[in-house]
Amino acid sequence: MHEHVLISDSNKNLEDRIKVHHWWHLKTAKERLKFKALCKRGGLMAVGSISKPGQYPHTAMPLSVQDNFPSTPGKAKLERNGYFSFSRISGRWHSSTSAKFSFWVIVLIFLLACAAFQLKFSGFHTIGKVSWLNNPAWEKNVQHSCHVKRDEGLVVLVTGAAGFVGSHVSLHLKKRGDGVLGIDNFNSYYDPSLKTARRALLEKHGVFVVEGDINDAALLQTLFNLVPFTHVMHLAAQAGVRYAMENPGSYVHSNVAGLVVLFEACKNANPQPAIVWASSSSVYGLNRKVPFSEFDRTDKPASLYAATKKAGEVVAHTYNHIYGLSITGLRFFTVYGPWGRPDMAYFSFTKAILEGNTITVYQGPNGADLARDFTYIDDVVKGCVASLDTAQKSTGSGGKKKGIAQLRIFNLGNTKPVTVPDMVKILEKNLKTKAHMNIVSMPRNGDVPFTHANITRALQELSYNPSTDLETGLKKFVHWYRSYYDYSDQSRSTP
């Protein structure tokens, strides 16, 4: 077999080094030895594929050149003692120029592919397309967003800031003069353009939202190094009761693993912040005793979503116990309102009714209507802010507990459950349109037949006193929905 060998013996520059100087036809062992000696003398290293054991590679290049090659993973990695096959056509290099060109094109494509891969999968830290690593402009945004404008103001890291509750809480805190920094991964569980619009609103009011995941420990550490947060309002989560059957991993990832990563960052921070975080009414699961009290058992979750929220409460206990983190868990009861979540029934029903589509309404056993303790967003925001304001300091430092720390759980409900068909009637009235309803038995999908909060504890300790009934709240929601999606802006898609 005739081998065509490309040899470079110039050391002037990278271009010259891969210039073709000789064509060799290695027919015999003697020729191969000669080639090998030549490589050695010129400081060259033979590279190229070997089609049979004992054969020499197809091409040669200086060792120094190889140091300039990217050390990238994968099959095409160029190894010092390995072999890399260039574009060889019919066993012959057509010309040195085309070989050189092909080679660098391949290298370039490979580098670009690696960069794209890293950006997408390795937690490469970006804001839009800008890396946060050693980025003074980004650090300035972070610090500016955390600037406190009132006496005794808080410095709060809000996770899930581009989410429904997160955006409302962030705005409220910022407006009263607290320093607020948001973080959100802008995932596509529901239309990310709604999250982007919420972010635009926040940024208009001076709240910077870092695009990143709570599972990114390095990013969290960077934020805690930059800012001495007094509080963390942790609202980032995988929400939705029924979606847990479709994508169980996302619940474990965000609601359990993500929570632990966040607690770790808080535990290591100096000072340790106090944490307020979103649990859920769903932890009451199959509880039949109403109204649901924080003293009731919560060991029978009906969905994986509920199970991960319950797990979060248990994890919170551990971090409070071992590290002295001050932690307050809030059990939200079907929060609704402007800028809400398109996956929730009141929101998706509104869209369907306006578009003339049929809505599916679930019924409980024996044809009983399902009911929810729908809670208006402004009331929930008050509960969140009161929790931050009444949170005691964490007691640990340097990762060690220095004393007993506060650990609280509160129901943030409305205490006035409304059935789903009644909720539909309110929507019909506000939308001035009759809904087409398909009534079906509640599938076994994690749903619970009713929720009803006892809010005595929140009233006592937080002065939490919800004041918006469903009629008033849905009216406000429909008003927002119409202005947001009312097709005056044709470029904006409906949810």
Ligand X SMILES: O=C(O)[C@H]1O[C@H](OP(=O)(O)OP(=O)(O)OC[C@H]2O[C@@H](n3ccc(=O)[nH]c3=O)[C@H](O)[C@@H]2O)[C@H](O)[C@@H](O)[C@H]1O
Helices (H) and strands (E) in the chain, counts: 16, 19
CA distance 392 to 407: 9
Q: How far is the CB of 189 from ligand X (least distance, A)?
A: 10
* Burial category of 84 from C-beta neighbours within 10 Å (exposed 0-12, middle 13-18, buried 19 and up): buried
Q: How far is the CB of 347 from ligand X (least distance, A)?
A: 8
Q: How far is the CB of 173 from ligand X (least distance, A)?
A: 21
Closest C-alpha to 17, from 104, 77, 94: 104
Catalytic residue among 284, 305, 346, 481: 305
Q: How far is the CB of 145 from ligand X (least distance, A)?
A: 27
Q: How far is the CB of 277 from ligand X (least distance, A)?
A: 13
When the beta carbons of 345 and 353 are compared against ligand X, the nearer one is: 345
Distance from the first to the final alpha carbon of the chain: 65
Point out which residues pair with 274 in neighbouring strands: 231
* Burial category of 36 from C-beta neighbours within 10 Å (exposed 0-12, middle 13-18, buried 19 and up): middle
Specify the residue for token string 């590290």.
323
When the beta carbons of 59 and 451 are compared against ligand X, the nearer one is: 451
Question: Which residues contact residue 281 at a Cβ distance below 8 angstroms, ignoring those fewer than 6 apart?
Answer: 292, 331, 332, 333, 334, 373, 411, 413, 451, 453
Count of C-beta atoms within a 10 Å radius of residue 408: 21
Closest C-alpha to 274, from 406, 145, 404, 160: 406
Question: Which residues contact residue 205 at a Cβ distance below 8 angstroms, ignoring those fewer than 6 apart?
Answer: 171, 174, 175
Count of C-beta atoms within a 10 Å radius of residue 56: 20
When the beta carbons of 70 and 356 are compared against ligand X, the nearer one is: 356
Catalytic residue check, 464: no
Q: Would you say 262 and 185 are in contact if contact means Cβ atoms under 8 Å apart?
A: no
Question: Which residues contact residue 37 at a Cβ distance below 8 angstroms, ignoring those fewer than 6 apart?
Answer: none
* 206-224 exposure pattern, b = at least 16 Cβ within 10 A, e = fewer: ebbbbbbbbbbbebbebbb
Q: How far is the CB of 174 from ligand X (least distance, A)?
A: 24
Kind and range of the H or E run holding 4: strand 4-7
When the beta carbons of 161 and 239 are compared against ligand X, the nearer one is: 239
When the beta carbons of 8 and 387 are compared against ligand X, the nearer one is: 387
When the beta carbons of 185 and 326 are compared against ligand X, the nearer one is: 185
Closest C-alpha to 264, from 294, 232, 236, 295: 232
Point out which residues bind ligand X (CB under 6 A).
Answer: 239-241, 280-282, 332-334, 344-345, 360-362, 370, 372, 420, 447
Count of C-beta atoms within a 10 Å radius of residue 441: 11
Q: How far is the CB of 282 from ligand X (least distance, A)?
A: 4
Residue type, 419: T
Closest C-alpha to 172, from 417, 328, 374, 383: 383
Q: How far is the CB of 490 from ligand X (least distance, A)?
A: 28
CA distance 382 to 390: 12
Q: How far is the CB of 350 from ligand X (least distance, A)?
A: 11
Please list the active-site residues.
305
